[in-house]
Amino acid sequence: MSKKSQLVAQKSLATLLLLLLFSLKAIKLAAQTSEIELFPLANIRLLGGPFQAAQQTDLRYLLELNPDRLLAPYLREAGLTPKAPSYGNWEDTGLDGHIGGHYLSALALMVAANDNTEAKNCLAYMLGELQRCQQRDPDGYVGGIPEGKEMWEEIKAGKIKAESFALNGKWVPIYNIHKLFSGLIDVYILTGNEQAKNILMPLADWWFDVFDPLTDDQIQQVLVSEHGGMNEVFVDVAAITNDKKYLRMAERLSHHAILDPLRKQQDKLTGLHANTQIPKVIGFEKVASAMKKTDWERASTFFWETVVQNRSVSIGGNSEREHFHAADNFQRMLTSREGPETCNTYNMMKLSRNLFLRSGERKFIDYYERAVFNHILSSQHPEMGGFVYFTPMRPNHYRVYSQPQEGFWCCVGSGLESHGKYGELIYAHRKADLFVNLFMASTLDWREQGIRVRQETAFPYEQQTTIEIQTNKKQDFAVHIRKPIWLEAVDIHLTLDDKRVNYEEKDGFLVIRQAWKKGSSFIKMALPMTIKEEFLPSGEPWVSFSYGPIVLGAKQGKEGLKGLFADDKRMAHIASGTLLPLRDNPVMLAADQQVSSAVSIKDPDKLLFELHQLKREEEDVTMTLQPFYTIHDSRYTLYWRVADASTLDSLVASNRRLDSLQLLLDNNTVDAVIMGEQQPESDHHIQHEEAYTGVDEDAHWRASKAWFAYELKNSKNKAGKIWVKQERTSDACYELWVNDLLVKPVDELLVDEQFKLLIYSLEGDDHAKLAADRLLVTFKACNDRGTGKLFEVRLLKE
């Protein structure tokens, strides 16, 4: 919080009064079908260890944000004068205000998890200002979307122009306002703050007023545009108000293009933008739970299974360049600089948590544990703070971190939240029975039952945990301790007050049921970890290693870590430094994929290991492995290509070929857009008319009956040529205009059966006109069949 806004917060009498009213009283929404319930986050505290440290780092980052800058879009849209300029990056290019919503959630989490006073002050200040904005609007609307109110009026009138990443020409406005809804709900549920509810309810009624008059078809049309989990939000609103009309709204806001194949247990996810879909499924599950729709329940479980079991890598992340790739082909994942996106895992964990609460099945926690240790914990810089967007699986690449005043990406928003809620699922209860789900040093205060729990462990640096159960009276109940999947083959060693204890094993949990004496009892559970290899779910010959649930990586060099701490440039969230040659990555030599003996322990206390059986061309190589979450500020490898002696030579030759192609493109590309993909298109300020997008296999394209255009960056006027990747045969055609100049193709290259490249020259007499930092590249249809499907445009030096 800036000094100025601190002053504002402190001076305001209204705010002080609010603070007095701000009693930390978590709200419990009526449990729908689930029997297992979470404890309020405010009853759980982390005790030391990497998770508490990560929470503190996140808190520092959170408090460096200036609420007045986050509020600026809201004030502007309400016709008020902003007290500070809005932030840049995604916050002033269309997604204005989205971080403000995440900020509310993150502050509420920090208030609940830490009782942090500064976070409380910021929260009170935010709510006061948001309410001030809302009071200016007769309909109860408040939002940061540029000229949002006008756009919502169009929607209300049934004028709907929806694309995957735009609605009526705005950059995913429902996704944006979903963050505000979620933020207000989180504040209310986590802290019991009534003011949040007092902003939420008029906002929900404004939404109702806009969307209720629309037909089901019109709503489905709107839902084509990325919309976060608006269905989830309305299940919560229904639970808060106990009014079924909001539940019907939640049901209507469920996107059938995604839901219906899932209800038939069909995986139609290839090519879809991953993080657009996951929140919808969180909503399907919540609607299912609230309305007892068993087929929707099965649909959400099926989605979870297909993503976790068929589409995820060892750290628990999924997707490449933000999209689900073909489940049987991880090739692009392993060569791309844009691996799993952190938001996806944040949302998959939410879904896992909810599915666990409903079903009590251990597998959901097994995934949650994998994701929290290996993806989420690793996605924040431990000392500097800052959040990771993409975690490349490409061997020997690296990740970049956001900076508080510069980067305002989606993964900053979800990152601010993620590290505040490590405590949420450590414990749970079913009536009077206690569940211990995760091995994290922490305490639980279960006031209603007169029970306190204290879990002491340095896991994974210590292979056991001690759980102290302290009750204020003698009472009967069961303690269910998760037996994680990685302990499946191991004899369990469990003691109570240092004596062997009777337990039953049920649904993946060790259940100690007895009369607990008044005072303290100590359960000790051994957590012996072993090395396990994990091939890709597709069966492709790439392997990753874990020790217990901890995924191991090899820390590598620091060369060329361009943009390690990202600036405010539009594409700064991508680790754009040099892709090092594939041929330099050691290959694991193993017959019949037998790799388990390749890892040996080097230093058990520090969790250091050695990886053998590696060959870099002719040379034998040994690499050191360590927990992936401890690797920062360097390149790393998580997956190794496995080959046997007979395939090694052809692999080396193929890597060399790919390297030279990559090098040629890397050295020559000035800028490029994958057409039809959300992020690259919006990063290049797409404009269009009568345009549409689609996916063939997993290749995205765009086409138009009229025209579409991108603004390409031509720094230092280096571009000499343009490549356009398109269908090899098509009777459609287009003209290519660069700025206001019609450019003709000079060459054509056939890529394969499906694609060809048309090559345009920017050199010649008119070139002077094109010597600009930014080139507006326009594709105009030249007949009524439109432009045809175009896949990629690339500015090249030569």
Nearer CB in complex with Zn ion: 43/336 = 336
CB 343 to Zn ion: min, Å: 3
Question: In the complex, what is the shortest distance from the CB of residue 93 to Zn ion, in angstroms, rounded to a whole number?
Answer: 16
Dist. CA 93–CA 87, nearest whole Å = 10
Q: Are 326 and 551 in contact (CB under 8 A)?
A: no
Q: What's the min distance (Å) between Cβ of 678 and Zn ion?
A: 11
Q: Label the pairing between strands 475-482 and 433-436.
A: parallel
Instruction: Select from 303-311, 340-348, 697-705, 736-744 the region that touches Zn ion (CB under 5 A).
Output: 340-348
* Pick 186 or 226: Cβ nearer Zn ion: 226
Q: Which one among 59, 214, 315, 411 touches Zn ion, defined by CB under 5 A?
A: 411
User: Counting contacts by CB under 5 A, is residue 343 touching Zn ion?
Assistant: yes
- Minimum distance, C-beta of residue 100 to Zn ion, in the bound complex (Å): 16
Query: CA-based angle 665:679:208, to the nearest 5?
Result: 170
Residues 475 and 515 sit within 8 Å (Cβ to Cβ): yes
Paired residues of 284 in beta bridges:
none
Site string for Zn ion, 364-403 (x = CB under 5 A): ----------------------------------------
CB 82 within 8 A of CB 152: no
Give me 590's structure tokens.
């193993």
Using the rule CB under 5 A, give the single segment among 298-306, 335-343, 581-589, 684-692 that binds Zn ion. 335-343
CB proximity list for 695: less than 8 A, separation 6 or greater: 270, 271, 272, 676, 701
Min separation Cβ 387 and Zn ion, Å: 9
Tell me whether residue 251 or residue 341 sits nearer to Zn ion (CB atom). 341
> What span, in angstroms and rounded, lies between the C-alpha atoms of 391 and 389?
7
Give residues 12-31 in contact with Zn ion (rule: CB under 5 A): none
Biggest alpha carbon–alpha carbon distance for the chain: 92
d(CA 101, CA 142): 11
Pick the closer one to Zn ion by CB: 128 or 340.
340
Nearer to Zn ion, 99 or 308 (CB): 99
Min dist CB 285 to Zn ion, Å, is: 21
Rounded least distance, CB 99 to Zn ion, Å: 12
Among 42, 63, 410, 572, binds Zn ion (CB under 5 A): 410
**3-state DSSP of 481-529:** EECCHHHCCCCCCEEECCEECCCEEECCEEEEEEEECCEEEEEEEECCC
Residue 104 CB, nearest approach to Zn ion (Å): 18
Phi and psi at residue 705, to the nearest 5°: -80, -15
Residue 422's contacts (CB-CB under 8 Å, 6 or more residues apart) are: 46, 51, 52, 54, 55, 113, 372, 440
d(CA 328, CA 19): 54
Cis peptide before 745 (omega within 30 of 0): no
Residues 500-559 binding Zn ion (CB under 5 A) are none
CB nearer Zn ion, residue 184 or residue 343 = 343
Q: How far is the CB of 144 from Zn ion (least distance, A)?
A: 18
Choose between 560 and 563: whose C-beta lies nearer to Zn ion: 563
Give least dist CB 90 to Zn ion, A: 10
The helix (H) or strand (E) run that includes residue 38 is strand 37-38
Which C-beta is closer to Zn ion: that of 191 or that of 391?
A: 391
- Of 214-222, 247-255, 405-413, 780-788, the window that binds Zn ion (rule: CB under 5 A) is 405-413
- Which of residues 15 and 380 has its CB atom nearest to Zn ion in the complex? 380
Per-residue interface string for the shown chain with Zn ion, residues 284-323, x marking contact by CB under 5 A: ----------------------------------------
Least Å distance, CB 682 to Zn ion, is 13
Taking CB atoms, the residue at the shortest distance from Zn ion is 343
Nearest to 26 by CA among 358, 477, 448: 448
- Nearer to Zn ion by Cβ, of 341 and 424: the residue is 341
Q: Which one of 51-59, 109-117, 160-168, 409-417 is the stretch in contact with Zn ion (CB under 5 A)?
A: 409-417
Q: Which residues, listed in sequence order, are joined to residue 551 by a DSSP beta bridge?
A: 546
- The position carrying tokens 């000229």 is 147
Task: Select the span of 72-80, 239-247, 407-415, 546-554 touching Zn ion (CB under 5 A).
Answer: 407-415
Q: Which is nearer to Zn ion, 95 or 110 (CB)?
A: 95
Q: Which stretch binds Zn ion (CB under 5 A): 408-416, 455-463, 587-595, 757-765?
A: 408-416
Phi then psi for residue 466, to 5 deg, are -120, 125
369 exposure class (CB count in 10 Å sphere: 0-12, 13-18, 19+) = buried
Residue among 585, 594, 628 at smallest CA distance from 608:
628
Q: Which is nearer to Zn ion, 411 or 587 (CB)?
A: 411
Termini Cα distance of the chain: 49
Give 187 or 343: the residue with its C-beta nearer to Zn ion.
343
> Smallest distance, Å, CB 17 to Zn ion?
37
Q: 3-state SS of the chain: helix, strand, coil percent to 5?
A: 40, 25, 35
Name which of 44 and 278 has its Cβ closer to Zn ion.
278
What minimum distance in Å lies between the beta carbon of 427 and Zn ion? 28
Distance CA 792, CA 798 (A): 17
Query: Measured from the CB of residue 132, what is the shortest distance to Zn ion in angstroms?
Result: 30
CA-based torsion, 268, 273, 276, 279: positive or negative: positive
Binding flag, residue 566, Zn ion (CB under 5 A):
no
Site string for Zn ion, 85-124 (x = CB under 5 A): ----------------------------------------
Question: Which range of residues in 74-82, 352-360, 410-418, 457-465 is near Zn ion by CB under 5 A?
Answer: 410-418
Q: Which is nearer to Zn ion, 410 or 673 (CB)?
A: 410
CB of 403 to Zn ion, least distance (A): 16
The footprint of Zn ion on residues 718-777 (CB under 5 A) is: none
Report the alpha-carbon distance of residue 433 to residue 478 in Å, rounded: 5
Which of 412/467 has CB closer to Zn ion? 412
Strand 166-167 versus strand 162-163 pairing type? antiparallel
Of 313 and 428, the one with the shorter C-beta distance to Zn ion is 313
Helices (H), 242-310: 244-252, 256-263, 274-291, 294-305
**Least distance from Zn ion to the Cβ atom of residue 472, Å:** 45
d(CA 561, CA 640): 21
- The count of residues interacting with Zn ion (CB under 5 A) is 4
Q: Do residues 356 and 36 touch, judged by C-beta distance below 8 A? A: yes
Under the criterion CB under 5 A, does residue 239 sit at the interface with Zn ion? no
CB of 674 to Zn ion, least distance (A): 17
C-alpha–C-alpha distance, residues 234 and 231, integer Å: 5
Q: Which stretch binds Zn ion (CB under 5 A): 91-99, 336-344, 446-454, 707-715?
A: 336-344
List of residues contacting Zn ion (CB under 5 A)? 341, 343, 410-411
